[in-house]
A = this chain, B = another copy of it.
């Protein structure tokens, strides 16, 4: 089973949604750009759509014959890439009870448990190692460093350093820069969310990421921009395991963001610094409070 065709399946599903919206299909290369896949994959998609009677396809003419039904879609779980599957399994283990710092990580065992080849697991671990949660012993196993309080403090220390610098760079950007329009858009989204926070509070995490990434990008430094991947990963799982007071926390954070945005728009470095610090401080508090009790202690 050398390689799953999840790219095809995922693109197929997205293409179905597109078809449902527009009731028509563009040329093959255009569709490829739209879906982010090669023409080879586009043609596989079109072939199947033809077979299942969704469209009539003859060279350039693509006629939509019927509206997609739920059965036309591939099951969601078949559209995930192997990397996503491995990450999920690994994080579940990591956040489960009994995942103590210092523990060994066994590639073969992980691979067997998840039901994938060892190569994929190895590659995942190498990629994952940059998050600072695991470490490799040369010619030997990986060691889990654990999601400890120390980890959270080290992570937030860097985050604060980077974001303060990025925010300072942000206000120095010329008025013509596209970021100001982006900021305007994000402000509007924040206002919308704030007004319906009671019901939509769970949409915050996605907005949060987009907002902070916009700021980090102003640094024009690849190391700062890339570091946000570490933060995003941690916060992604943080939001999954810590649901306590979520609504209240997010309501506060939205207001902090709005104050932060106002400071940025004022272009007053002092105000920006203050608003940024305030928000980062409460973000750190939130993260620290979510660390499971058993993981508070760091090994010697």
- The chain A residues found within 8 Å of chain B, CB to CB, are 7, 36-37, 119, 122-123, 126-127, 130, 132, 138-139, 145, 151, 154-155, 157-158, 161, 165, 220-224, 226-227, 230
For residue A161, which residues in chain B have a CB less than 8 angstroms away from its CB?
161, 165
For residue A138, which residues in chain B have a CB less than 8 angstroms away from its CB?
36
Question: Majority SS of interface residues in chain A?
Answer: helix
Report the Cα distance A4→B138, complex, angstroms: 15
Knowing A130-B130, A226-B132, the reply to whether A158 touches B221 (Cβ < 8 A) is: yes
For residue A224, which residues in chain B have a CB less than 8 angstroms away from its CB?
158
Residues A154 and B123 in contact, CB atoms below 8 Å apart: no
Q: How far is the CB of A37 from chain B (nearest CB, A)?
A: 8
Q: Which of B7, B37, B119, B132 contacts A223 (CB 8 A)?
A: B132
Residues B7 and A154 in contact, CB atoms below 8 Å apart: no
Copies of chain A in the complex: 2
19 additional contacts (CB under 8 A) given A132-B222, A151-B222, A157-B221:
A7-B139, A37-B139, A119-B119, A122-B123, A123-B123, A123-B126, A126-B126, A126-B127, A130-B130, A132-B223, A132-B226, A145-B222, A154-B222, A154-B223, A158-B221, A158-B223, A158-B224, A161-B161, A223-B227
Report the Cα distance A139→B158, complex, angstroms: 31
Report the Cα distance A41→B36, complex, angstroms: 49
Report the Cα distance A36→B139, complex, angstroms: 10
Residues B155 and A223 in contact, CB atoms below 8 Å apart: yes
Report the Cα distance A221→B156, complex, angstroms: 10
For residue A37, which residues in chain B have a CB less than 8 angstroms away from its CB?
139
Report the Cα distance A230→B221, complex, angstroms: 14
Which of A139, A155, A158, A223 has the most chain B CB atoms inside 10 A of its CB?
A223
CB closest residue in chain B, given A135? B222
List 21 A-B pairs, Cβ < 8 Å: A7-B139, A36-B138, A37-B139, A122-B123, A123-B123, A123-B126, A126-B126, A130-B130, A132-B222, A132-B223, A132-B226, A145-B222, A154-B222, A154-B223, A157-B221, A158-B221, A158-B223, A158-B224, A161-B161, A223-B227, A223-B230
